[in-house]
Amino acid sequence: MTRPSRPELTRYGRPKRVDGGIRAQSTRGDIGESWWSKRFISVLESFSGLGGRLARGRNYARAGQVLSLTIEPGTVHARVQGSVDPPYRVQIGLSTYDDPTWTRIEQAMAAQALFAARLLAGEMPPPIEEAFSAAGAPLFPTSAADLRMSCSCPDATVPCKHIAATFYLLAEAFDADPFQILHWRGRDRATLLANLRVLRTTAAPARTARRRAGTAAKRAGDRPHGVGAAAALVEAASADRAASADLTASVTRFWVAPVPLPTRPPTLTTDVDLVLRQLPTPDPWLGGRALVDALRPLYAAFRP
């Protein structure tokens, strides 16, 4: 057997160490912390002919061999340092969705208050995959054929370890910002949230009307004045008027005594010496009982 030449050993040997590369946060075990990044990796690992090769890039990802990672609508770009200069160029493509498709996805999201709240909090709600599926547009790739993978390295195997390392760091990028998944599919964060706010605001009055109509329909039962939405709306209007009348009556009754108050004269008739009788007898040095007797005629004189 012929020993490989020195250049070949260098070409396929250990990767060159780099400073300032993007190093995976995970030092052992699985890469990815959130459910959406773990889901992304598990989807990739489930693909025949792809999952078994991903592990080749785990050490590259943890060693910081990926120098740059950029996520754009439809394409992920990366530069990965291998065993020779210059760094290899990696591209991973995924189809984006057009505006009509995104409108269907956003309408499915807006139908549930959970989506907007969780997305505004920087989280990806687990049922979001259902919203994409309902629109006929899966969030994650469904097969290896959905991914367009290329690398400038001489390795003919796809994915090579440079592409695999990019996948792992892509999962961690999704950990840090779940909107990057949606951005890859063609919708940026600002546009998505703005559209969700509009849809939620527009749908609020309709939801209120439906709730009132449903309540009115339950109250109406089998009443003979009509059936269907028209009857429910009539009933809802009647219920609102009745509630308003009840409130007005309640406010009016609030100031009415529960029982009639007795009629009292504007002034009370009392004995003129009432105050004198309430006071204790003065001390002897003030005159004692004789002082009270002397004051009684004066009180009588003050009486109107």
pTM for this predicted structure: 0.62
- Tell me the per-residue pLDDT of 202-260, one tens digit each, with 9 for 90 and over: 755 544 445 555 555 555 554 444 445 555 555 555 555 555 555 554 444 444 444 44
Phi, psi of 69 (to 5 degrees): -145, 120
Q: For the chain, which residues score pLDDT lower than 50? A: 1-11, 206-209, 222-227, 249-262, 264-268
Phi, psi of 295 (to 5 degrees): -80, -25
Predicted pLDDT at 13: 66
Q: Average model confidence (pLDDT) for the chain?
A: 77
- Tell me the per-residue pLDDT of 64-73, one tens digit each, with 9 for 90 and over: 999 999 999 9
Please name which of 180, 201, 197 lies closest in space to residue 189, comparing C-alpha atoms.
180
Predicted pLDDT at 121: 78
Predicted pLDDT at 150: 96
Distance CA 30, CA 270 (A): 96
Distance CA 153, CA 144 (A): 20
Q: Are 238 and 230 contacting, i.e. CB atoms less than 8 angstroms apart?
A: no
Predicted pLDDT at 40: 94
Residue type, 166: T
Q: Are 128 and 102 contacting, i.e. CB atoms less than 8 angstroms apart?
A: no
Predicted pLDDT at 6: 33
Please name which of 204, 210, 205, 212 lies closest in space to residue 240, comparing C-alpha atoms.
212
Domain borders along the chain are 15-97+137-186
Predicted pLDDT at 188: 94
Q: Name the region of 76 (left: φ>0; alpha: ψ -120 to 50; beta: rest).
A: beta
- Tell me the per-residue pLDDT of 165-186, one tens digit each, with 9 for 90 and over: 999 999 999 998 999 999 999 9
Who's near 216: CB < 8 A, 6+ residues apart? 232, 233, 234, 235, 236, 238, 239
Distance CA 39, CA 74 (A): 19
Distance CA 21, CA 16 (A): 12
Q: Are 63 and 54 contacting, i.e. CB atoms less than 8 angstroms apart?
A: no
